[in-house]
Amino acid sequence: MSDSPAVMHAETADSHHEHPAYQRHHFESVAQQFDATNFAMWLFLLTEVMFFGGLFTAYLIMRNWYYPAFVEASHQLNIGWGTANTGVLILSSFTMAMGVYNAHMRRKSGLVLCLILTFILGLGFLGIKSIEYTEKYEKHHIPGFHYSMSSFLNPASDPEVHNSYPDDKPLGLDMARHTELYFFLYFAMTGMHALHMIIGIAILGYLIVRAQAGDFTTGHITYIENFGLYWHFVDIIWIFLFPLLYLISRH
Amino acid sequence: MNFLSRENGLLSWLLTGDHKRIAILYLISITFFFFIGGALAGLIRLELLTPQSDLMASDTYNKVFTMHGIVMIFLFLVPSVPATLGNFFIPMMIGAKDLALPKINLLSWYLYVVGGILVIYTMVAGGVDTGWTFTTPLSTHYVNTNVMSTGMAIFIAGFSSIFTGLNFIVTIHKMRCPGMTWFRLPLFVWANYAASILMVLGTPVLAITIVLVALERKVGIGVFDPTKGGDPLLFQHLFWFYSHPAVYIMILPGMGVISETISTFSRKRVFGYTAVAFSSVAIAVFGFFVWAHHMFIMGISNYSMLVFSLLTMLVAVPSAIKIFNWTFTLYKGSITFETPMLYSFGFMGLFTIGGLTGVFLGTSGTDIHLTETYFIVAHFHFVMVGGMLMAFLAGIHFWWPKMTGRMYPEKISQLAAVVTFIGFNLTFFPQFILGTLGMPRRYAAYPPEFQILNVFSTAGATILGVGYLLPVIYLVWSLKYGEIAGNNPWQATGLEWQTQSPPLTENFVITPIMDHEAYDYDWLENQGVKEVASVG
């Protein structure tokens, strides 16, 4: 009795031969597979929104409470590097979108080129970020690690920033101490973003190898599409971080 | 040939993509952690047998109740029904071959195991004594116990829960068989869908909160540190934004089980199917807007208290809708008293008490008197143990024949259900009284006048322990000696009962087509007539 379903199963198994190799066995069709995995990626991004949401909440509350400290601390950020990095990331989103387009068009060399460009731009972003982090290290603006408030107690002691923002008043000790909170949030938020970039770059490396082997130019676009969504999401997080940390209350 | 016998060897289990095998891996691991958590509870009750702190010192006691909470919440209650019964039966109930993302499903089990190992490491390394709530600045600045490893454990186990929830939502949206419309889904699927929404939206907030606590511990400064301008209340908001919805993650799937058993054993369609389905979603939605009722004594404003108090009352409405509809389902049904039904009755009574005392606590004035007393402890154990654990046992007994192909022994399991019910009430009902008399929670010692009620409670815990050990023994026994169950021993209507027991790896020989409503017992009887006709 228990044999008969198995026999019937063996017969129905024949019908699977008409499906492409990349279709997983438990899906009825390629379309269902694509729909399901794509939907899963969107849901994952939703969880990421909630994850970063905690940080944004903390930042907005603290910014409201300690407004003068946050404004003066934000003057320490290098707007030139920040803008350059925003450009690098937007460009990388463009190359990623072109990669998805090339995967749809089944052009292998185009896809590989776009992925490599995205990879390089991603590394470029991290490079610039590390220059900025080094600046903070040199000025003792890393919270909990020989943190120095001198730039805020006495703006004249920091001529570089003081020349750009001559209106910055010296902060009282109580308020100046809260600049450390700004930098805590700055490192937590950009650090968490950079971690997502590093993970993305690692996955990109894997995708480049697979793309080079021709795995994604036979109509199997799921991985490329979904990774594209992730990459754009990480980009959008930066699009919120950049104005919040660098730009608002600049003048 | 079935999913158990198809392949053999340890690797065929550890690398499986089959949702049914992963469910069984989960079942074994959560049972293991349940008994660890249970042993810790035993230590707590033993210490509270006498008014002095004599079995262990106060700081050891702090560690024991903290580890009890962490193990039971994150390693048992959160994954209990979804990761085992949900994993096993959601794809079968909707006529799918597997969950949408089998590899992610396996990954989520591995994440759970890593989280579990870290918790065991924490215990071996000396434990943690912050309470399961990690209250700052205690957890960030003042204790020297293993906060980091516990935080990491919960962070990782949290991702296990996120991936399970994500997988369920995708599966329920995209993998339903032809004819399986949303309003033909079994209510178990609706309940797990609602719980999955909470897992996906709530857990990441807990994750980032743990990251911030860990950073603050390492760096010595952070957003929760009041000496540097941070705000401990912010921690409470972020923590309870997850941890209040988490109680609905724990209870909703249990409510799903009860909808199945009540219908099956009264042989009636669930009364008010649509209302019960939407009440699950309503609990999920309201559940996100009541978190600050954990904070009434923490200095939030009177206006916040008013709003959160009102919202807390509102969330009682969909829970009541469920209880009323189950009761109406029983009305004029042909009720039988198999073990799953006994546990379900236990659930309905105990959950009602647990839920109503929740309304007392949602009233801000009463809460200020009762919070941090044993009243709270009794309240959430009525919901979590009296509610969820009863539902879990109801579900395990209900689906055991399908999972293993064998029946459990009916008489002894009915006895176990009754023993559990008696033991439970004896353990936790006295704690309501202790709470109203003012006995605070989280202390190893108490004034002598509270002893008699504590002795009742400890005695009850002993009986409860027997009630939980019995199923382990006879269920394992039944694997070999139980009666052969057949495909549909309960004559239930779900698609999972229309295939063989234990099921094939792909669940169904051909993709089923759903051509009737859920809980349609007329359809089932006609089905039987048709089969007889075709064989004849």
> What pLDDT does residue B227 have?
85
State the nearest Cα–Cα gap between A71 and chain B, in angstroms.
16
A interface test, pick of B107, B200, B221, B231 with most A CB neighbours within 10 Å = B221
Task: Read off the pLDDT of residues B385-397 as tens digits, 9 standing for 90 and up.
Answer: 999 999 999 999 9
Work out the percent of chain B whose per-residue pLDDT is above 70: 98
Residues in chain A where the model's pLDDT stays below 70? 1-18, 251
What CATH number labels A35-247? 1.20.120.80
How many CB atoms are closer than 10 A to CB B123? 20
> What pLDDT does residue B393 have?
97
**Contact at CB, A47 and B211, closer than 8 angstroms:** no
Residues 55-94, chain A, touching B (beta carbon < 8 A): 55, 57-58, 61-62, 65-66
State the nearest Cα–Cα gap between A169 and chain B, in angstroms.
20
- In chain A, the residue whose alpha carbon lies closest to the alpha carbon of B502 is A2
Quick one: tokens of A106? 């089944």
- In chain B, the residue whose alpha carbon lies closest to the alpha carbon of A49 is B204
Element (DSSP H or E) covering residue B480: helix B451-481
> What pLDDT does residue B535 have?
46
Q: What residue spans of chain A are helical by DSSP H? A: 3-13, 30-65, 67-74, 79-104, 108-138, 150-153, 159-164, 173-177, 179-212, 222-242
What residues in B contact A35, CB-CB < 8 Å? 174
Q: Which ipTM value was assigned to this complex?
A: 0.92
Q: Is A19 on the interface with B (CB under 8 A)?
A: no
> What pLDDT does residue A8 have?
41
**Among B218, B219, B234, beta carbon nearest to A58:** B234
Indicate whether B516 pLDDT > 60.
yes
Residue A56 vs residues A244, B239, B469, B507, B536: alpha-carbon distances, Å: 9, 15, 47, 45, 69
**Contact at CB, B504 and A180, closer than 8 angstroms:** no
What residues in A contact B215, CB-CB < 8 Å? 184, 188
**Among A35, A51, A62, beta carbon nearest to B208:** A51
- The residue that leads in pLDDT, A15 or B277, is B277
What residues in A contact B169, CB-CB < 8 Å? 43
Band (B536; pLDDT cuts 50, 70, 90) = very low
Mean per-residue pLDDT for B348-370? 94
- In chain B, the residue whose alpha carbon lies closest to the alpha carbon of A175 is B229
Residue B376 vs residues B17, B278, B435: alpha-carbon distances, Å: 41, 28, 7
**Among B174, B215, B221, beta carbon nearest to A32:** B174
Q: Residue ranges of the domains in chain A? A: 35-247
DSSP codes joined into one string, B202-256: HHHHHHHHHHHHHHHHHHS--TT-GGGT--HHHHHHHHHHHHHHHHHHHHHHHHH
- Report yes or no: B134 and B119 within 8 Å, Cβ to Cβ: no
**Contact at CB, B167 and A40, closer than 8 angstroms:** yes
What residues in B contact A44, CB-CB < 8 Å? 166
Residue A34 vs residues A232, B59, B366: alpha-carbon distances, Å: 19, 54, 53
State the nearest Cα–Cα gap between A116 and chain B, in angstroms.
27
Residue A119 sits at the vertex; the CA angle it makes with A115 and A123, to the nearest 5 degrees, is 170
The residue length of chain B stands at 536
Counted across chains A and B, CB pairs separated by less than 8 A come out at: 124
How many CB atoms are closer than 10 A to CB B300? 17
**Contact at CB, B96 and A35, closer than 8 angstroms:** no
Phi, psi of B504 (to 5 degrees): -65, 165
Indicate whether B313 pLDDT > 80.
yes
**Contact at CB, A181 and B228, closer than 8 angstroms:** yes
**Contact at CB, B500 and A5, closer than 8 angstroms:** yes
Task: Read off the pLDDT of residues A142-189 as tens digits, 9 standing for 90 and up.
Answer: 998 888 988 899 888 888 888 888 888 899 988 999 999 999 999 999
What residues in B contact A43, CB-CB < 8 Å? 166, 169-170, 200
- Report yes or no: B105 and B171 within 8 Å, Cβ to Cβ: no
Task: Read off the pLDDT of residues B119-137 as tens digits, 9 standing for 90 and up.
Answer: 999 999 999 999 999 998 9
**Contact at CB, B169 and A43, closer than 8 angstroms:** yes
The residue length of chain A stands at 251
Long-range Cβ contact pairs of B304-313 (< 8 A, separation 24 or more): B305/B364, B306/B364, B308/B364, B309/B362, B309/B363, B309/B364, B311/B286, B312/B358, B312/B359, B312/B362, B313/B359, B313/B362
Quick one: tokens of B12? 């065929």
Which amino acid, B453? L
How far is Cα B141 from Cα B127, in angstroms, rounded to an integer? 17
A interface test, pick of B208, B234, B300, B508 with most A CB neighbours within 10 Å = B208
- In chain A, the residue whose alpha carbon lies closest to the alpha carbon of B102 is A26
Q: Is A37 on the interface with B (CB under 8 A)?
A: yes
DSSP codes joined into one string, B273-302: HHHHHHHHHHHHHHHTT-GGGG-TTTT--H
Q: Is A43 on the interface with B (CB under 8 A)?
A: yes
- In chain A, the residue whose alpha carbon lies closest to the alpha carbon of B213 is A188
**Contact at CB, A184 and B207, closer than 8 angstroms:** no
Indicate whether B24 pLDDT > 60.
yes
Indicate whether B14 pLDDT > 50.
yes
**Contact at CB, A39 and B173, closer than 8 angstroms:** yes
Task: Read off the pLDDT of residues B460-513 as tens digits, 9 standing for 90 and up.
Answer: 999 999 999 999 999 999 999 999 999 999 999 999 999 999 999 999 999 999
Indicate whether B527 pLDDT > 90.
no
State the nearest Cα–Cα gap between B134 and chain A, in angstroms.
17
